[in-house]
Amino acid sequence: MIQINAHYLKLKASYLFSEIAKRVEAYQQQHPDAPVIRLGIGDVTRALPDACIHAFHQAIDEMAEDRSFRGYGPEEGYAFLREAIAENDFKARGADIGADEIFVSDGAKCDTGNIQEIFDINTRIAIPDPVYPAYLDTNVMAGRTGAYHDGRYEGIVYLNGNAENGFIPDLPAEPVDLIYLCFPNNPTGATITKDQLKQWVDYAAANKAIILFDAAYEAFIRDDSLPHSIYEIDGARDVAIEFRSFSKTAGFTGTRCAYTVVPKSLMAYTATGEAHSVHGLWNRRHSTKFNGVSYPVQRAAEAVYSTAGKAQMQELVNYYMENAALIRKEMQALGHTLIGGENSPYIWVATGADSWSFFDMLLENAGVVCTPGAGFGTCGEGYIRISAFNSHENVTAAMSRIRQALKS
Amino acid sequence: MIQINAHYLKLKASYLFSEIAKRVEAYQQQHPDAPVIRLGIGDVTRALPDACIHAFHQAIDEMAEDRSFRGYGPEEGYAFLREAIAENDFKARGADIGADEIFVSDGAKCDTGNIQEIFDINTRIAIPDPVYPAYLDTNVMAGRTGAYHDGRYEGIVYLNGNAENGFIPDLPAEPVDLIYLCFPNNPTGATITKDQLKQWVDYAAANKAIILFDAAYEAFIRDDSLPHSIYEIDGARDVAIEFRSFSKTAGFTGTRCAYTVVPKSLMAYTATGEAHSVHGLWNRRHSTKFNGVSYPVQRAAEAVYSTAGKAQMQELVNYYMENAALIRKEMQALGHTLIGGENSPYIWVATGADSWSFFDMLLENAGVVCTPGAGFGTCGEGYIRISAFNSHENVTAAMSRIRQALKS
């Protein structure tokens, strides 16, 4: 008899974003003439940069001729893209990362979800709260947790974020092996300083732990003193894997391209302490279960690093950051405490009520969709996340509606 | 201390295709002026069909304007593609598969590798020999096998293919829960009749087993009596998952699009026998660890089902099948027993010597790269796989070189 992976039964029945979609749909059926404005899911809304469009078309023209056609590419990505990444995203910032340490993929969601496979089933996992749900769910599926109750899974070391620590969790009190960190943070928009990040790198080095650093939102950093990459921190090459994406920075959510950095000096161990290259393990995983990113998509991603592409990407980021500034200003004027939105596209707002009630109230009274903080973990209760990914017109209209709703 | 997934250490050190690449590189360094002809890796060589190119460009133009831009799409694929697939690949052949049972992905390699995750770790697995290595490797990584020795992993039920059974394995003698089948077969090119496939479906139904049916090469079937899909067999909806790909049929190896069919009536069980929908499990896995296929790529794949697209795809398939016919004729004329190449792009040739020696001899004396059968399992020893994916010119030249080499 074929048996299921019973760990799946531990998963909370409803995924955050499907629950939101359900409530929005119900609202729209009751109010067919009241269009909602979505500041919920962190999805970009503006067209791909011209430089990417141009490169994309050009690559498709290559695929139209036998002599320039490309079949299977290297699973880890074409050298042209890996070299552009290493040069621009790392070496230019003084981070010592080589092109051969970069694995191009079709999404940071896939990579952050798949990475746990190469580690032992009994790995002690530290995960922030609030957090992007996929880190947790993929470890539940793998069987690294016990049951779910009171908003938490047994067997996970939760790193609490709250108003007191500014949503920068403290170092874990008990020993852990694998630590998920995300800065600029999703969902809170919190950022980490180099000094703070150095403490995590030192902790990992002292404990032979590995940090999984999700930097999908680094392009939104405005404060020059903040690190864009964990590899700007001394010693990080020996303790960290970094995840990046073109999704939010260059509008690739529907085009799909991302990458993961696994330094060759990063080691993990057998039970008897024998060191193995994590790069080698990930390479084996990646080449066995993945067949590379679409060639034209890789050419479009490469164009992000052209002179025109850089300027266009910056313009896109600036556009969304103007929205973020407006959201911050308006919500503060309404008396809400908040963080984020200065170096990140997310604004994390204290609601003064429980998250889902505030979500429902905003939907019902303002026709605006946000994300309830409680959906990101127990520490998210009492907060909502507002996303800056929308048009100026929609964000302005949403803020005006929210003003009306909250004042009435 | 962070520990590795020790199951990775059981994997054979060298992946088949990397070993081939190493030997070809060594040969080329010694013979810089003798260009090799590659009939090894099954990669297509001809341009994408015009209909796909046209749709691809058009979709990119949509991504260039805010008003038609697409961000995150549905993880399971856009309805336009899923509906075209259900209509053309299934309903048109009398197979009762709905659009909502289709999960679009970026590759059959990913799907056939990932599918095992949703089943129990103690699942008894039956895998053919010879076989596409990824089925086996992904189960090794997951920890479903013991050690590797004498060419086989402990804990796997191997289904032997050989000259006696025409490389259609017999039903397993011991009980199994999950069965990998691939027809038209990679690497042997063997095909299965409806009556033969019905025996497997009946076996699975009787044993509450699930069949993982890899039909990536169905477009190469010429014999109208052969099934293109397992769902042409009565009862298969309740026992089978099918994998398909646009890679070989429409030249998408570098463009990346595939799909997996999980019928809603397919069940797997808890240890106590409670039935769960496999569709629900796969949906959860797919939406947690994957973020959908690039929108323009899905539009290009949809175009395969247009009138022009169908004709162009057929022309591509015919082109490669002319190569297959030539390879068959030439190798038979040289006195080799073979199968495949009539309803598949692969020709499986008895070498009369061990596989790697014959591989080395063809490389050294003819400058032609094939794939040694032993790389696909112990039952592949004594065979090579020749691929029809190349230009007529190259295949003709390769056959002429092989003729010279084998006659001398």
Going by pLDDT thresholds of 50, 70 and 90, the confidence category of residue A209 is: very high
The mean per-residue pLDDT over the stretch A372-383 comes to 96
Q: How many CB pairs under 8 A join A and B?
A: 258
Pick from A107, A118, A294: CB nearest B256: A294
Residue (of B307, B310, B306, B308) closest to B318 by Cα position:
B310
Pick from A3, A122, A255: CB nearest B63: A255
Q: Which residues of B touch A271 (CB under 8 A)?
A: 3, 6
Q: What is the pLDDT of residue A14?
A: 67
Structure-token match 């409806």, residue found: B194
Residue (of A154, A175, A297) closest to B300 by Cα position:
A297
Q: What is the pLDDT of residue A131?
A: 94
What average pLDDT does chain B have?
96
A66 contacts B45? CB cut-off 8 A: yes
- Using CA atoms of A325, A344, A303, B62 in order, give the dihedral in degrees to the nearest 10: -60
Is residue B102's pLDDT more than 70?
A: yes
Residue (of A281, A375, A369, A336) closest to A163 by Cα position:
A336
The mean per-residue pLDDT over the stretch A261-270 comes to 98
A352 Cα to chain B: minimum distance (Å): 31
Pick from A64, A119, A178: CB nearest B47: A64
- Kindly identify which residue of chain A lies nearest to residue B78, measuring between CA atoms: A254
Q: Which residues of A touch B69 (CB under 8 A)?
A: 45-48, 251, 254
A4 contacts B270? CB cut-off 8 A: yes
Q: Which residues contact B171 (CB under 8 A, 6 or more apart)?
A: B199, B200, B203
pLDDT, tens digit (0-9, with 9 covering 90-100), for A326-344: 999 999 999 999 999 999 9
Distance between CA atoms of residues A85 and B314, nearest Å: 39
A291 Cα to chain B: minimum distance (Å): 7
pLDDT, tens digit (0-9, with 9 covering 90-100), for B140-192: 999 999 999 988 999 999 999 999 999 999 999 999 999 999 999 999 999 99
pLDDT, tens digit (0-9, with 9 covering 90-100), for A109-149: 999 999 999 999 999 999 999 999 999 999 999 999 999 99
| Interface test with chain B among A253, A294, A387, A389, by most B beta carbons within 10 Å | A294
- Asked if the interface predicted TM-score (ipTM) of this complex is over 0.95, the answer is yes
A289 contacts B134? CB cut-off 8 A: yes
The three-state DSSP-derived secondary structure of chain A is CCEECHHHHHCCCCCHHHHHHHHHHHHHHHCCCCCCEECCCCCCCCCCCHHHHHHHHHHHHHHCCCCCCCCCCCCCCCHHHHHHHHHHHHHHHCCCCCHHHEEEECCHHHHHHHHHHHECCCCCEEEEECCCHHHHHHHHHHCCCCCEECCEECCEEEEECCCCCCCCCCCCCCCCCEEEEECCCCCCCCCCCHHHHHHHHHHHHHHCCEEEEECCCHHHCCCCCCCCCHHHCCCHHHCEEEEEECHHHHCCCCCCCEEEECCCCCEEECCCCCEEEHHHHHHHHHHHHCCCCCHHHHHHHHHHHCHHHHHHHHHHHHHHHHHHHHHHHHHHHCCCCEEECCCCCEEEEECCCCHHHHHHHHHHHHCEECEEHHHHCHHHCCEEEEECCCCHHHHHHHHHHHHHHHHC
Distance between CA atoms of residues B303 and B51, nearest Å: 6
- Kindly identify which residue of chain B lies nearest to residue A118, measuring between CA atoms: B5
CA distances from B398 to A99, B28, B36, B349, B394 (A): 36, 16, 9, 15, 6
CA distances from B146 to A152, B10, B117, B153, B182 (A): 34, 8, 18, 6, 24
Q: Which residues of B touch A290 (CB under 8 A)?
A: 107, 109-110
Pick from A46, A253, A290: CB nearest B72: A253
Distance between CA atoms of residues A154 and B324, nearest Å: 57
Going by pLDDT thresholds of 50, 70 and 90, the confidence category of residue B334 is: very high
Q: Give the DSSP H/E element, type plus range, for residue B230.
A: none
pLDDT, tens digit (0-9, with 9 covering 90-100), for A222-245: 999 999 999 999 999 999 999 999
Domains for chain B: give ranges and CATH numbers. 6-47+308-407 (3.90.1150.10), 52-307 (3.40.640.10)
Distance between CA atoms of residues B61 and B77, nearest Å: 20
Pick from B8, B122, B281: CB nearest A281: B8
Burial class (CB within 10 angstroms; exposed 0-12, middle 13-18, buried 19+) of A386: buried
pLDDT, tens digit (0-9, with 9 covering 90-100), for A148-193: 998 899 999 999 999 999 999 999 999 999 999 999 999 999 999 9
pLDDT, tens digit (0-9, with 9 covering 90-100), for B41-61: 889 999 999 999 999 999 999
B53 contacts A46? CB cut-off 8 A: no
Distance between CA atoms of residues B185 and B377, nearest Å: 14
B141 contacts A281? CB cut-off 8 A: no
Pick from B4, B15, B255: CB nearest A276: B4
Distance between CA atoms of residues B299 and A271, nearest Å: 48
Q: Which residues of B touch A345 (CB under 8 A)?
A: none
Q: What is the pLDDT of residue B14?
A: 67
Is residue A12's pLDDT more than 90?
A: no
